[in-house]
């Protein structure tokens, strides 16, 4: 007897859509076919609806110390919101500091997540110091434990988080050797410091100057530099939160040349432009890299339509209104980050529902590609043998985003008032219902650590 059959829906993969029933047992998809005639403990009618793989948000910052505070979503509230937005796996970014080890850091987070996580989870690890080479040695053990991706910052020098080009190249080569993948936040730190000092001296401190201090060319130079090392070291690289046209175009050309480069962007860069920083609530949109101009926004959408961007993720790092208000008279004091975890999949599926992209492209960007790139073998697709991470999507359901109907712990959202046509109505995590038509019905501790496989 099966545990669950989802009947009558249209299954969406990264390449196709087809009517199909889905049978689940012991958390896995075990049967797929038309009109499955099998006994099951539960049968869910998905007639007229789409049956999608759960999304993987491979870029979140939950319970993260930053800017003098901690991001508003705990592991519990953040993963609860994830489930309600059709995200069944999140990736966290714990920060390794001088003297700290990878496994001690990851295990300390694991102890919390095992109690709080409402969806499955994995860890990238941000490297800020090699500890006289100990981190490079420890990476081998960490990869065996399923920690197969590492991040470095080309910014945040004053915060002690930035790596120089030598550290960056060393990390690229070590990761290549171990079958791991380096993620990079690409902006030019020296230019940002120069512009911030200049604007402060001039008394130009509104959120608009956050954008001007980190405008397109500031990001693009670092994108090109990161691409340069990736190309000439022949080491795979994943650029997070791409926001500018020039850097994007360089990466697209690199892809055409066979450079092992992956590109991620985020919904905020697809929806808004830098004009938001002129609004009265502009500080709420402060994130890094900042939202760019219309030319970059259009370029990102064109690249998505042409399958030249690999992943859409969120960089979810929300803060409370009163914390954003710390920078009401000085943009450098605004904690950087916005909400998006519960909105990503519905937003991209709305784009598919309106014909801007296909549903298969939305699934590829939010589920199949991130699972493949980051070694999640049993995630990213509705197929036999995979975890039964499944979203049922109603193409006819209208939904307006508001802080009042989200499931996070923040008190505002940049997505307030955004209207979507089509919305998830059920989310299953390994065959267990965790979201049901507006309500979270799972429980903390349901999530499991995803042990990832290294790159071949």
pLDDT number for residue 456: 87
Phi, psi of 177 (to 5 degrees): -60, -35
Strands (E), 46-147: 50-53, 55-60, 65-66, 69-70, 87-92, 120-123, 125-126
pLDDT number for residue 248: 98
Cβ(43)–Cβ(9) under 8 Å?
A: no
Instruction: Determine what percent of the chain is predicted with pLDDT higher than 70.
Output: 100
Cβ(170)–Cβ(226) under 8 Å?
A: no
Cβ(364)–Cβ(14) under 8 Å?
A: yes
- Compute the half-sphere exposure of residue 279: CA atoms within 13 Å on the CB side of its CA: 13
pLDDT number for residue 365: 98
Residues whose CB is less than 8 angstroms from the CB of residue 114 and which lie 6 or more positions away in sequence, other chains included? 445, 449
Cα three-residue angle 305-308-313, rounded to 5 degrees? 85
Lookup: tokens for 46: 């998905």
Least confident piece of the model among 66-70, 176-180, 235-239, 291-295: 66-70
Task: Please check the confidence at residue 29 and state whether its pLDDT lies above 90.
Answer: yes
| Strand-pair partners of 123 | 92
pLDDT number for residue 408: 97
Helix segments in 117-188, DSSP class H:
134-144, 165-178
Phi, psi of 14 (to 5 degrees): -70, -10
16-36 average pLDDT score: 97
Q: Report residue 159's pLDDT band, with 50, 70 and 90 as the boundaries.
A: confident
Q: How long a stretch of residues is the chain?
A: 456
Number of neighbours of residue 66 by Cβ within 10 angstroms? 17
Task: Please check the confidence at residue 160 and state whether its pLDDT lies above 90.
Answer: no
pLDDT number for residue 67: 78
Distance between CA 41 and CA 25 in Å, rounded?
10
Residues whose CB is less than 8 angstroms from the CB of residue 46 and which lie 6 or more positions away in sequence, other chains included? 6, 7, 8, 9, 392
Q: Report residue 254's pLDDT band, with 50, 70 and 90 as the boundaries.
A: very high
Distance between CA 372 and CA 89 in Å, rounded?
13
Cβ(328)–Cβ(283) under 8 Å?
A: yes
Distance between CA 352 and CA 365 in Å, rounded?
12
pLDDT number for residue 386: 98
> 313-324: per-residue pLDDT in tens?
999 999 999 999
| Strand-pair partners of 56 | 89
- Compute the half-sphere exposure of residue 427: CA atoms within 13 Å on the CB side of its CA: 30
> 34-85: per-residue pLDDT in tens?
999 999 999 999 999 999 999 999 999 999 988 789 999 999 999 999 999 9
> Taking all residues of the chain, what is their mean pLDDT, rounded to a whole number?
97
379-392 average pLDDT score: 98
Mapping DSSP to helix (H, G, I), strand (E, B) and coil, where does residue 149 land? strand
> 342-384: per-residue pLDDT in tens?
999 999 999 999 999 999 999 999 999 999 999 999 999 999 9
pLDDT number for residue 66: 83
pLDDT number for residue 356: 98
> 99-134: per-residue pLDDT in tens?
999 999 999 999 999 999 999 999 999 999 999 999
Q: Which of 379, 363, 367 lies closest to 453 in space, CA to CA? A: 379
Q: Report residue 252's pLDDT band, with 50, 70 and 90 as the boundaries.
A: very high
Number of neighbours of residue 185 by Cβ within 10 angstroms? 23
CA torsion angle 130 69 196 205 (round to 10): 170
Q: What is the DSSP letter of 316?
A: B
Q: Report residue 432's pLDDT band, with 50, 70 and 90 as the boundaries.
A: very high
Distance between CA 95 and CA 104 in Å, rounded?
11
Owner of token pair 């990264």? 14
Cβ(96)–Cβ(128) under 8 Å?
A: yes
């Amino acid at each position: 007897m099966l545990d669950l059959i989802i009947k009558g829906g249209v299954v969406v993969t990264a390449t196709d859509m087809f009517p199909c029933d889905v049978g689940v047992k012991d958390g896995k998809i075990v049967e797929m076919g038309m009109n499955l005639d099998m006994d099951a403990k539960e049968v869910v009618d998905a007639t007229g609806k789409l049956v999608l793989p759960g999304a993987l948000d491979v870029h979140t910052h939950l319970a993260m110390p930053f800017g003098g505070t901690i991001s508003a979503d705990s592991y519990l509230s953040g993963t609860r919101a994830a489930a309600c937005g059709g995200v069944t796996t999140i990736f966290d970014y714990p920060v390794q500091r001088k003297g700290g080890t990878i496994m001690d850091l990851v295990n300390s987070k694991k102890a919390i997540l095992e109690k709080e996580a409402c969806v499955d989870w994995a860890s990238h690890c941000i490297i800020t110091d090699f500890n006289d080479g100990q981190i490079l040695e420890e990476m081998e053990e960490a990869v065996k434990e399923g920690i197969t991706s590492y991040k470095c910052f080309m910014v945040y020098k004053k915060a002690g988080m930035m790596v120089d080009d030598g550290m960056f190249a060393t990390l690229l080569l070590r990761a290549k050797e171990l079958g791991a993948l380096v993620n990079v936040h690409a902006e030019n730190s020296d230019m940002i410091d120069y512009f911030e000092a200049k604007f402060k001296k001039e008394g130009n401190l509104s959120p608009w100057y956050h954008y001007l201090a980190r405008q397109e060319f500031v990001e693009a130079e670092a994108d090109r530099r990161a691409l340069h090392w990736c190309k000439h070291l022949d080491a795979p690289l994943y650029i997070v939160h791409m926001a500018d046209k020039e850097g994007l175009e360089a990466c697209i050309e690199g892809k055409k040349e066979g450079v092992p480069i992956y590109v991620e962007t985020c919904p905020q860069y697809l929806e808004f432009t830098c004009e938001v920083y002129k609004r009265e609530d502009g500080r709420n949109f402060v994130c890094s890299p900042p939202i760019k101009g219309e030319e970059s926004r259009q370029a990102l959408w064109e690249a998505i339509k042409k399958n030249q961007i690999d992943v859409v993720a969120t960089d979810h790092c929300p803060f409370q209104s009163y914390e954003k208000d710390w920078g009401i008279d000085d943009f450098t004091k605004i904690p950087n980050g916005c909400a998006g975890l519960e909105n990503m999949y519905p937003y991209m599926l709305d784009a598919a529902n309106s014909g801007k992209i296909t549903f298969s492209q939305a699934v590829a960007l939010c589920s199949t590609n991130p699972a493949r790139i980051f070694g999640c073998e049993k995630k990213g697709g509705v197929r036999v043998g995979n975890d039964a991470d499944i979203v049922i999507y109603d193409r006819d359901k209208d939904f307006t985003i508001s802080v009042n109907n989200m499931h996070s712990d923040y008190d505002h959202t940049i997505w307030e008032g955004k209207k979507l046509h089509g919305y998830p109505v059920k989310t299953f995590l390994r065959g267990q219902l965790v979201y049901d038509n507006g309500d979270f019905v799972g429980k903390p501790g349901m999530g499991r650590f995803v042990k990832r496989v290294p790159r071949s």
